[in-house]
Amino acid sequence: MPAVPAAGAGAPGAAGEPLLRVRGLQVHYPVRTGLLRRTVGAVRAVDGVDLDVARGSTYGLVGESGCGKSTLGRAVLRLTEPTAGSVAVGGTDLLALGPEALRRERRRLQMVFQDPLASLDPRQSVESALTEPMAVHGLPGGARAHRARVRELLERVGLPAAAAGRYPHEFSGGQRQRVGIARALVLSPELLVADEPVSALDVSVQAQVLVLLEELQRDLGLTYLVIAHDLAVVKHVSTAVGVMYLGALVEEGPVGPLYAAPLHPYTRALLSAAPVPDPDAEQRRERIVLTGDLPSPADPPSGCRFRTRCPWVQPTRCADERPALRPVPGHPPGQRVACHWAEDIASGRLPARAAA
């Protein structure tokens, strides 16, 4: 199989070197009312997120529906314009770039979408969909070289060369997602944002696509930001994990320590709801059931945003002071949590209130 060159210098970057650095990222949508469309508030879809993604690693972003994780992924690529903050890729602040400079920079950044059928033009053949980005960005070589590149990429993602002449409706869901991955790779990017890349696929096909993504990362030195609600998928593919709730990160850390000893009450609740493939362990483990509804991002609670559903909520600090992401003594240095009482909860000094 011919090798597909990796982005940039053609080799994976040094482990631990941040490729993506996000600081204070906000995406607010105005709420308007009346005939004059007067702004009366804002939906805080993303509200002050900081995260780093090391070059060559996979950062998994998890949270329930409506927490803002997909909006964050789109804001990183400026498919959705952020309200405030900074997004730096390899030291380049994307939010400071004008339209033409941003277009050139997009060669380094690509996205794999959740619904492969909706993300592909039904009127374009696979060859047309894959050669169009090369023409737009002026890749050298001409039409013949571009067609050869298409067939090379199709082989790389496990599709026959004959697939180049077919249209999206002629493929299965898993095959369409492979086409979407090939399209994302056509410009040799450094960073891939994968928004629920396997949630629309059958379970057996999910495993195949995840193995493909891992192989591509290993061979091409790619960096992934994977957005998913499936905790098992995130655990399988990720180096580090960030947990989002109501537009903000509540915990992040290396995947092993975070899954083994979660610190934030919300992370604990999410992991307690995930099934365990061991009947005995499933019987013994404690389930944390959250009460109450998810608050509106247009009117988030004061202080800690999780306090209205938290089993460990306290009358002091929780309602008055928004907790910042911070390390906790005795835990891995990369694990950070936004909870005032994380140490007391972890040690058992602070008991959970009884469920209603």
Q: What is the pTM of this model?
A: 0.89
Signed CA dihedral, 207, 212, 218, 221: sign only: negative
Could you tell me the pLDDT band of residue 139, with boundaries at 50, 70 and 90?
Answer: confident
Q: Among 111, 117, 75, 124, which residue's Cα sits nearest to residue 95?
A: 75
At 312 the pLDDT is 93
Q: How many CB atoms lie within 10 A of CB 252?
A: 25
Average pLDDT over residues 211-229: 95
At 281 the pLDDT is 67
CA gap 339, 6 in Å, rounded: 40
SS (H, E, C) 128-196: HHHHHHHHHCCCCCHHHHHHHHHHHHHHHCCCCHHHHHCCHHHCCHHHHHHHHHHHHHCCCCCEEEEEC
What six digits make up the tokens of 66? 């409506």
Q: By the 8 A CB rule, do 253 and 240 touch?
A: yes
Longest CA pairwise span in the chain (Å)? 69
Tell me the per-residue pLDDT of 24-43, one tens digit each, with 9 for 90 and over.
999 999 999 888 888 888 99
Q: By the 8 A CB rule, do 123 and 177 touch?
A: no
Task: For the chain, give the mean pLDDT.
Answer: 89
pLDDT at 15 over 60: no
Q: Among 72, 23, 47, which residue's Cα sits nearest to residue 299?
A: 47
At 13 the pLDDT is 35
Q: Among 260, 252, 214, 253, which residue's Cα sits nearest to residue 233?
A: 214
Calculate what percentage of the chain has a pLDDT beyond 70: 93
At 2 the pLDDT is 37
Average pLDDT over residues 314-324: 93
Could you tell me the pLDDT band of residue 8, with boundaries at 50, 70 and 90?
Answer: very low
pLDDT at 117 over 50: yes
CATH class entry, domain 18-238 = alpha beta
Q: By the 8 A CB rule, do 194 and 225 touch?
A: yes
Amino acid at position 56, single letter: G
Lowest mean pLDDT among 169-183, 263-277, 313-327: 263-277
What six digits make up the tokens of 68? 């803002």
Domain ranges across the chain: 18-238, 261-347
At 12 the pLDDT is 34
Q: What is the DSSP letter of 277?
A: S
